[in-house]
Structure 1
Amino acid sequence: MSNLMRAVRAVLWSFIGLGGRRADADRRTAQVGLLPLVGVALVTVLLLIAGLLALAHFAAGT
């Protein structure tokens, strides 16, 4: 599995809170590295916010 996919998987698991044991989370972080995790997390949060804004805009009908 590529490093990017490992980072995406680790971030998504942490967002929904099903990361498993602490040792598993530490192992995933060590495999990927801290900087890619932070980058993927920022992009994911920005996409989530953009999606929510688009949904609100669509729901308001403007």
Structure 2
Amino acid sequence: MGFMKRLKGERAGRRTAGRRRKPSPREQRAAMRTEQAEAKLLETEALIHEEAERLRRGTRTTA
């Protein structure tokens, strides 16, 4: 191992740095379900905020 490589710390974590294991089909499906659930949650949250704003506007005009 060269002197410069030791200074840069290239040896540490050498085995895992370049290689990442491929997720299993089960993990890929779980990631997809999570992604879909998060998207649905954001959509629902946006609808809730829209409804709340509509109700706030309605109560201001009638008061």
Q: Normalised by the size of structure 1, how large is the TM-score?
A: 0.47
Q: Normalised by the size of structure 2, how large is the TM-score?
A: 0.46
Instruction: Report 1 or 2 for greater relative contact order, CA contacts < 8 Å, sequence distance ≥ 6.
Output: 1
Larger Rg: 2
Whose helix fraction is larger, Structure 1's or Structure 2's? 1
